[in-house]
Structure 1
Amino acid sequence: MEQWKKNLAVLWIGQFLVMGGMTMIIPFMSLYLQSDRIGLTNQHEIATWAGIIFAGNFVTAFLFQPLWGKLSDQYGRKMMLLRSGFGMAIVMILMGFATSPWHLLLLRMVNGTISGFNPAAVSLISASTPKERMGFAMGTLQSGGIAGTILGPFIGGLLADAIGYRPIFYLTGALLFAASLLAFFIVRERFDRAQAAKGPNVSIIAGFRQLGRVPQLYSLFAVTFLLQFAMIGPMPLMPLYVQQLHGTSVNLAFWAGFVGSAAGLSNMVAAPMLGRLSDRIGQERVLGISLIGAALMFIPQAMAGTVWQLLLFRLLQGIFLGGLIPSVNALVRRFTPDGMEGRAFSFNSSMLALGNMIGPIVGGLVSGWTGIGGVFLISSGLFILNALWVRKTLVVKQTIKGAS
């Protein structure tokens, strides 16, 4: 097997375990806070702590991703990958020893601080994969993260009933450690540290300004932010929307979970196929079509009359969403100056974390003014504006460059 394929296979496993580990705690976090070792009893206090603890990871991830990107350009992507993998494994195990909400919050924030597995993996794959297979590799890598995100809560719920809450943290930490060991022995990277050291030691802010001189990167970062913002924003409201459409409490939790994960299921399947298609017709075209398609699929979701209709359009939307992140990652690599790939992907990862933070907050505020349907319509409008921006900065400029 070619080395880039070995790298892709191992990092797919790593992406699955990292994202699965991050989401596995969702179903039982509130219950864990009520366990004997932590012992919260007030329901409002439990709900508040659960939200703060879950968000803490994204806050520090947003702040620290650019630092790890800068260091990956200096010392190599594999080193940052292993730093993140082994570090998160240790933090996850320590969560199993927590005895107060403050312990969990601190550890989640530490986890966000040392995180960076995803941008390091994307950057490493982009550097080791042949250009003609870039879209396929990015799509396949994304499918691993999506699979972990979808299956994580499901596996977490099953394990919580089977083995209890604390052992889940130990098991997840052990799996992350094993995935990091696998990457240590199998993943290979061509990186000349001596050559990298000869380059200018640019600060994080100066590096962001330097990348900002490339207008294409700004529009690509915006795609990443809006994707997470628009997809995560309605998620806390989805059970209420399903309840409104379902009209009964029978199997409500099942339908809410099914509808919430529907887009991720079709996304996981479509991402490698659309990535392969983008290698043939161009990432710009797949990105533009995917943005418009995803935007249009928000509209019938706002007007759905039954749960089945909502489910159908969520599945269709997931297909278009599968063409976004792989195309964005391939294009970020194309437009990023040599030697700054790690920073570019880390800034992109920061935009993803920012969308995870702001989306639910804004979605809740907007729904109070416009209703849940209004959140979908506003997301649709934002996607269309972003598609126009992408066309202006990517497609039009590429056409002008080709004509000249």
Structure 2
Amino acid sequence: MHDKNWKRNLYILMVCQFFVMAAMTMIIPFLPLYLQDLGVTDPQAVSRWSGIIFGVNFLSAFLFSPLWGKLADRHGRKLMLLRSGFGMAIVITLTGFATGPWSLFFLRFLNGMISGFIPAAIALMSMSTPKKQVGYSLGMLQAGAVAGGICGPLFGGIMADFMGFRMIFYVTGGTILIAAFGVLFFVKENFQKKEEKVKTNTLQDFKKVVSTSPILSLFVVFFVVQCALIGINPLLSLFVQELTPSQNIAFYAGLAMSVMGFANMSASPFLGKLSDKKGHHFVLLLALLFAAIVTLPQAFVASYWQLIAFRFLLGLCLGGLLPSINSLIRHLAPVGMESRTFGFSNSFMYLGTMLGPTVGGWLASVAGIRSLFIASSILLFLNVLIVKYRVVPVMVQRKRDEKREDLQKEKKQDNRQNNAKEKHHLGQA
């Protein structure tokens, strides 16, 4: 059931997503340096703790995402936005008071457990937007989040030089608090609470959700996309170092990530609109195919600027990937289980985000960094096959069925009108 406030909600949530994503990404580049501040001096220990602390955030998010989805279906998506916003504001502020690696580990686990602002915003917008404009709506949300992801590390870098690392956590907590208040006062949700007749557990919910084809295939596609694309990110700076002799490696590595973000942000609204017109499955298939094609040559680049060109092209594809997957999940989700479906989808996403860098690190140590791009391209080509043979046929058939149903409804309506006219004429006669 769409909401007449959907456009207003969209613009407010775009701004809130920008703030939340900027706040979250301010921290990520400085976790290893913050560990050194907390007294971890051995380089191997810093690397080990960095990996564990980065990963534990996604592990707890993976475990708890279905629970938040279930609660959102019962009590509303806005409540989940507020839970996540206020919860993260408190936990991230407390992270500034960490005393050692174990307290940082515990706080990052807690942060992942209560996180989910962006998935909750996607669920709220996908439910309140008219079905014909879901692609555009989620594309705009993605643009807001990506813009925050580009600006966050930049702001974080400037603040770290001026204020020190602890201050970044206080600023981040304050920023997320502002976003949470923005949701509290300005976002409206037309949610009608429904009592569930039968209480179900997470496994039963999962079985029911994936019984609708091709939802499970989309979950797998989401997982593989995250694995293939996120697995490269932590090691990109090392590859940039290999390509350019410059002293400003951090700047050039940041630029290689940012150029992808700018392309993603620019393409998301356009590809969202295109998917509403042509079909989300059509845009997803093309975006995946293009992503697989432009990822492979990155393994063979000879200069930094060649890498930048291919990263930009990859960013354009990303603008069509995640909004299309989320739009399809929204269209296919069982009635009354929409947020739970997004909850499971997010678990697959977090699992990919967690495993991608781990497996990527191992592969790079065995076969070199360039092998990551080849592996990533192969995974994306496998995704193309999944979408072509498991998703597209089902969606094409569903569109045909919907058209047939619409025609039948129109015929019934015409028959009713004709009958009414006949009765009227007979009455007059």
Which TM class, normalised by the smaller chain length? over 0.9
Q: Secondary structure at the match of 1:323?
A: helix
* Residue in structure 1 matched with residue 363 of structure 2 by the alignment: 366
Counterparts of 2:347 and 2:387, CA distance in 1: 19
* Residue in structure 1 matched with residue 42 of structure 2 by the alignment: 42
* Residue in structure 2 matched with residue 92 of structure 1 by the alignment: 92
Which AA in structure 1 matches 2:310?
Answer: F
- 1:403–1:272 CA distance, 2 compared to 1 (3 A): closer
Which of 390, 393, 407 in structure 2 is aligned with 1:393? 390
* Residue in structure 2 matched with residue 211 of structure 1 by the alignment: 209
- 1:42–1:339 CA distance, 2 compared to 1 (3 A): same
Instruction: Give the C-alpha shift of residue 181 in structure 1.
Output: 0.9
- 1:402–1:227 CA distance, 2 compared to 1 (3 A): closer
* Superposition map of 1:18-167 within 5 A: 18-35=20-37, 38-167=38-167
* Residue in structure 1 matched with residue 225 of structure 2 by the alignment: 227
- 1:187–1:228 CA distance, 2 compared to 1 (3 A): same
Which AA in structure 2 matches 1:49?
Answer: W
Range 381-390 or range 134-143, more displaced: 381-390
Pair 1:375 & 2:377 matched? no
Q: 5+ residue gaps in structure 1?
A: none
What TM-score do you get using the length of structure 1 for normalisation?
0.95
- 1:48–1:402 CA distance, 2 compared to 1 (3 A): closer
Counterparts of 1:399 and 1:354, CA distance in 2: 29
Pair 1:190 & 2:187 matched? no
* Residue in structure 1 matched with residue 420 of structure 2 by the alignment: none
Range 369-378 or range 104-113, more displaced: 369-378
Instruction: Give the C-alpha shift of residue 61 in structure 1.
Output: 0.3
Pair 1:282 & 2:284 matched? no
Which of 15, 18, 26 in structure 1 is aligned with 2:17? 15
Which of 294, 303, 323 in structure 2 is aligned with 1:306? 303
- 1:43–1:190 CA distance, 2 compared to 1 (3 A): same
Which AA in structure 2 matches 1:342?
Answer: S
Which AA in structure 2 matches 1:74?
Answer: R
Range 385-394 or range 133-142, more displaced: 385-394
Counterparts of 2:36 and 2:394, CA distance in 1: 56
Counterparts of 2:337 and 2:349, CA distance in 1: 19
Counterparts of 2:198 and 2:384, CA distance in 1: 35
Range 391-400 or range 86-95, more displaced: 391-400
Counterparts of 1:41 and 1:385, CA distance in 2: 42
Range 63-72 or range 42-51, more displaced: 42-51
Counterparts of 1:399 and 1:131, CA distance in 2: 17
Instruction: Give the C-alpha shift of residue 47 in structure 1.
Output: 2.5
Range 51-60 or range 73-82, more displaced: 51-60
Which AA in structure 1 matches 2:10?
Answer: L
- Residues 24 and 172, structure 2, Cα contact 8 Å, conserved in 1: no
- Residues 235 and 361, structure 2, Cα contact 8 Å, conserved in 1: yes
Q: How many residues align?
A: 399
Which AA in structure 2 matches 1:202?
Answer: T
- Residues 66 and 343, structure 2, Cα contact 8 Å, conserved in 1: yes
Counterparts of 2:44 and 2:314, CA distance in 1: 35
* Residue in structure 2 matched with residue 339 of structure 1 by the alignment: 336
- Residues 221 and 386, structure 2, Cα contact 8 Å, conserved in 1: no
Instruction: Give the C-alpha shift of residue 154 in structure 1.
Output: 1.4
- Residues 219 and 386, structure 1, Cα contact 8 Å, conserved in 2: no
Counterparts of 2:381 and 2:400, CA distance in 1: 27
Instruction: Give the C-alpha shift of residue 185 in structure 1.
Output: 1.1
Counterparts of 1:130 and 1:313, CA distance in 2: 35
- Residues 214 and 394, structure 2, Cα contact 8 Å, conserved in 1: no
- Residues 287 and 327, structure 1, Cα contact 8 Å, conserved in 2: yes
Which AA in structure 2 matches 1:3?
Answer: N
- Residues 18 and 176, structure 1, Cα contact 8 Å, conserved in 2: yes
Which AA in structure 1 matches 2:11?
Answer: A
Larger radius of gyration: 2
Q: 5+ residue gaps in structure 2?
A: 402-429
Counterparts of 1:76 and 1:310, CA distance in 2: 44
- Residues 140 and 269, structure 2, Cα contact 8 Å, conserved in 1: yes
Pair 1:296 & 2:290 matched? no
Instruction: Give the C-alpha shift of residue 2 in structure 1.
Output: 5.5
Counterparts of 1:56 and 1:110, CA distance in 2: 9
Counterparts of 1:5 and 1:233, CA distance in 2: 35
Q: Secondary structure at the match of 2:214?
A: helix
Q: Secondary structure at the match of 1:322?
A: helix
Pair 1:267 & 2:260 matched? no
- Residues 119 and 342, structure 1, Cα contact 8 Å, conserved in 2: no
Instruction: Give the C-alpha shift of residue 141 in structure 1.
Output: 0.6
Counterparts of 1:39 and 1:367, CA distance in 2: 29
